[in-house]
Each structure stands twice: as C-alpha cells, then as structure tokens.
A and B are shown apart, each in its own frame.
Chain A
Amino acid sequence: MFDISASALAAQVFTGLVLGGIFVLLAIGLSLIFGLMTVVNFAHGSLYMLGAYFGVFLLGLTKNFWVSLVAAPLMVFVLGLVIERVLVRPLYGRSIDDPLLLTFGLSLVVVEAVRIVWGKIGLTIDPPRALSGALDLGFMTFPLYRFFVIAVTVLVLVGLWLFLERTNVGLIIRAGSRDPLMVRALGLDLGRVWLLVFGIGAGLAGLAGILAGPMRPVYPEMGITMVIESFVVVVVGGMGSLLGAVVAGIIIGEVVSLTTFFAPKLSEIMVFVVMALVLLVRPSGLFGEAGLLE
C-alpha cells in the first residue's frame, strides 16, 4: 500500500529512536526500585499519572512550565517517601510478593482518588511556547518537544549514573542490592537508603508523567498499561542496569516503530515476542546479572 522510500524509512527509524528514549524515561524509576530493592512498584503507573496531575495543578497555580517541571516530581518524590515508610517498610522480611500486592492495591486507590478529586474527564498540559514548534529535519518534520524529552532523559541517566557510581550513598545502595546482610553487619542503616531509592524511583515516575503531559492526554487511567510497558523494557535490558534500560528502550522503540510501518496490527504483539526471545536466549536480560535478585 505504501511505497517504501528511503526517506520514509529514515523517518520511521528516527521516530522509533526517540520513542525508545521515552520508553527509557518511563522505565528508569521502575528499574531503579526493582533493581536495588527487589520490589516491583506496581503503583509506578499511578505515580506517573500523579506526576502529570500535579503538573496540571501546579501549572494552574504558577502558570510556569519550568517551575512545575521541577516541583511536580518533587511532590511525587515526597509521596514516594511516605509510601515506603508507611506501607512498604512493614513488608520487608515477608514474602517477596507482598510489596507487589500492596502497591497493586495502592494503584487502585490512587486512580480512584484522582477520579474523585479531578474528575473522570482528562486534562491537558500544553508544552511551553519555546518548545511547541516542529523542526524540519529534511526527511521529516519532528516536534521540538520530543527532543527536549530526550535531553531530559539523558540528563537524568547521567545524573543517576554519577549518583550511583561516584557518591558514598550510591556505593551503599549498590552494596545493599548485592548483600544487604553484609551491609547491615557493617553498621550501615539500609532502611534510610531504601527510603531514598524508593523516593527517587517515585520521583522519576512523576517526572515521566509531567513530561508526558504535553504529548499525551492526562487522565486517571493513563498509567495503567505504562507499568507493563516499563516492565518489558526492564526485562529485556536486565534489571538494575541503566545501560540495559537504554538499549532495551531503544530496541522496543524501534520494534514498535518499524512494525507499525510494515504491519501495524502486530506492533504490540512484537514487543512481547522480543521479550520472549530475549528470555529464551538470555533469561537475565541483555545486561542483567543472573540470579542477582530472585
């Protein structure tokens, strides 16, 4: 039906690359908590949604996108701290499934609470004027805002990497993910570190939410399938690996973009096929370490 020209294919590949970057952004928060605490935060999607709603709320209050972009994730970060302290902490030492179950219940509560507070009808966030145009790349026009999202994603990744590799807290976090018992034996307070990790993971979900606002509608159910998409990225990349998340995000982005071009009905299905193939060949993901966190 379509003539496959080189420029059309280039446009598709490029779109997939940027889409992959967005997948990375959605997944990092989940990957961080999952990789370092062995907790799947099922409420990741709800926190993503809350980030967008807090963004709408703050935009209404301040009329300033940049202030909201910083403040909304901070609000979700604080909420993440509360969730860890009050709800998740009592479950440490119990079955590994319990935090997953609890955050699943939490996600139902949060979505419904948002419906009550903000209504069932969605809201929108407009991109700031400076970022609302499109760029002519020669082979296609591409929204400026998506470049901005990729830039933020890169910044976040670099910041996280520096935090984990170059700071003392980062060292304790990494040590804690390998051998929590040993870290405790050395007299370090892992509880506070986990609190922080959970908060950061939540904050990153919130950041993804407000950044998604200008691209996607803001509505209570927006995070529901996002947690599954993010998880697929984490599985393919290998949990806890930032590099893995990046590579996997881009692979998934390209898979979605190229199948959309050639066989649109298969695009979501192919994502799961890729996941199954990776599991067959490398059960711990492309960059994961086997048996680290089971």
Chain B
Amino acid sequence: MAQKHGATIVGTTPYPLGNAEFSAHLPKIQAAKPEAIYSVTPGADNIAFLKQYASFGMKKTPVVQPLHWLPQLKEGGPDIYDGIYGGTNFYWELADTIPQAKRYNDAHQKRFGMPAGDYGAYAYSGVMEVARGIELTKSTEPKVVADALRASREYDHYKGKQWWRACDGKSFQDMWIVKGRQPGKTRGDWGIVEVVARIPANEELDRTCAEKGLA
C-alpha cells in the first residue's frame, strides 16, 4: 500500500496495546530518520506516545495517525495534538459545510450534549443501514436483509454518498484529513483539530478487488 502511493517505509517498531512507555522506541525512530511517522497507537497509548514524542524533541517530524477519537482529542488537549495529522471518517466541524452532517451532529449534540465523534458516526451509520435493509425487505432475516443491501449498494446516512463494494462488502466513503490546531486557536472544548483536506471516496486508493484476489 505504501509503495502504491509513492512512500517508502524506512522502519517499523511494533509495540503491544495498552503500553504507556514509548521511550525505548523513540531513539530507534530518530535513528531511522523518517520524513513522517505513521503512528497506530489507539486510546490512552496515543496520548502517551504523543507526549513522549514531543518531549524527546521530535516535533519537527510530523506524525500521521489513522483516526482521531473525539473524547481522546479533548483528553489530550491542544498542546499534545498541535500539528498532528489524522485521517477520519467524520469530524463534527463538517456540519459547517455538509447538510447531512449538520443534521446528524445537531441531533447528537441535542441528545448527548457533545458533538458527534468518529466511532459514534460509524455505529450510527451501521445501525441506520441495517434499518434501511429491514425497511426495504420488511424482513428481519439476516440473510434477506444482507442480500437486499447487496442489491442496493448506495446509501447516505450522515455525511454524503457511500457504497458497498461488491467483491468484499467494504464501505467506500469520503474521508478527511484533519490537523491539530495551535494551542489558543482551538474552537471550544471539542474543536482541537481542523479539517485540511477531503479525500473523495475512491476504490483505486484502496487495494482493488483484483489486488485482493477477489475479482
């Protein structure tokens, strides 16, 4: 995947989930002299990693992460997420530009008193999609519902058009690149990052059906 998009991996250093100590990994990462660090450190690990990465004076090497979890952004705060890049399926500030996102986020804000996060959006969309299948078929038989969704692959529940790919049932959808705002420039408690780019849904970006051996 990295090669496909023109990147070279200069090194990897796996760690077990739930680890709060990254100091032994950091000099190793420094020694590899990467242009960017791709970090998969979910939850509390992420805050530990970013804290230690910053304290080792490595801020000049940008960090890119697969996703941001909204409460975790608030937990870490602007100092930690300043300048960090992330890819996400949803960020509440999309409500500014996308009507569907506004409807979803407003409802979420009203019900839970906080903006909608990325995982919650996945879950919401997933439940809505099952509901759509049930409505289409008036059935609750899993196989009947699944077949109906396979026949009607496009949907739009909270942020724009998405579709199921026929060969593997993977959902294709727009994604966004977000970047941590500078401390002092955040938007309220929850606006730690800002949207910097939209990646339109595109099957070519992922491994294709042929590459997965499913074509």
**Given that A2-B11, A122-B75, A268-B16 are contacting pairs, would A216 and B51 also be in contact in the complex, using a CB cutoff of 8 Å?**
yes
Question: How far, in angstroms, from A12 to B32 measured CA to CA in the complex?
Answer: 13
B15 touches A264 (CB 8 A): yes
Of chain B, the residue at the smallest CB distance from A268 is B16
* Binary per-residue interface labels of chain A (1-19) against chain B in the complex, 1 for a CB within 8 Å, 0 otherwise: 1110101100110111011
Contact indicator B56/A142 (Cβ below 8 Å): yes
Query: Which residue among A16, A18, A261 has the maximum number of chain B CB atoms within 10 Å of its CB?
Result: A261
Q: Is the CB of A121 within 8 A of B31?
A: no
Contact A140 B30 (CB under 8 A): yes
Residue of A nearest to B79 (CB): A126
Q: Among A94-102, A217-225, A239-247, which stretch is in contact with chain B? A: A217-225
A143 within 8 A of B: yes
Q: Decide: B44 and A124 in contact? CB cutoff 8 A.
A: no
CA distance A215 to B51 in the complex (A): 6
Shortest C-beta distance, A62 to chain B (Å), equals 19
Contact residues on B (Cβ < 8 Å of other chain), bracket: 35 or more
CB-defined contacts of B47 to chain A, threshold 8 Å: 122, 124, 217
A residues 109-151 near B (Cβ < 8 Å) are 121-124, 126-127, 132-134, 136, 140-143, 145-146
Residue A122 contacts which of B23, B25, B44, B58 (CB distance < 8 angstroms)? B44
- Asked if residues B15 and A143 are in contact (CB atoms below 8 Å), the reply is no
Task: Known contacts A19-B23, A126-B79; decide if A260 and B28 are in contact (CB<8 Å).
Answer: yes
Chain A residue nearest in CB terms to B13: A264
From B13, B48, B77, B79, contact of A216 by CB (8 A): B48
- Judge whether A123 and B75 touch: CB under 8 Å: yes
Q: Does B76 contact A (CB under 8 A)?
A: yes
Residue pair A12, B28 in contact (C-beta under 8 Å): yes
Instruction: Write out the residue numbers on chain A whose beta carbons fall within 8 Å of the beta carbon of B31.
Output: 2-3, 5, 7-8, 11
Bound form: Cα–Cα A124–B20 in Å = 13
When A and B form their complex, which 3 residue pairs have the shortest distance between CB atoms, in order from nearest?
A134-B57, A143-B55, A141-B57
A sample of 15 cross-chain residue pairs with beta-carbon separation below 8 angstroms, ordered by A number, consists of A2-B32, A8-B27, A15-B23, A19-B23, A22-B21, A134-B56, A141-B56, A141-B57, A143-B56, A212-B20, A217-B48, A222-B44, A260-B13, A264-B13, A264-B14
* Apart from A140-B30, A256-B24: 11 A-B pairs, beta carbons within 8 A: A1-B12, A12-B24, A16-B24, A124-B77, A124-B80, A134-B56, A146-B23, A217-B44, A217-B48, A219-B44, A260-B24
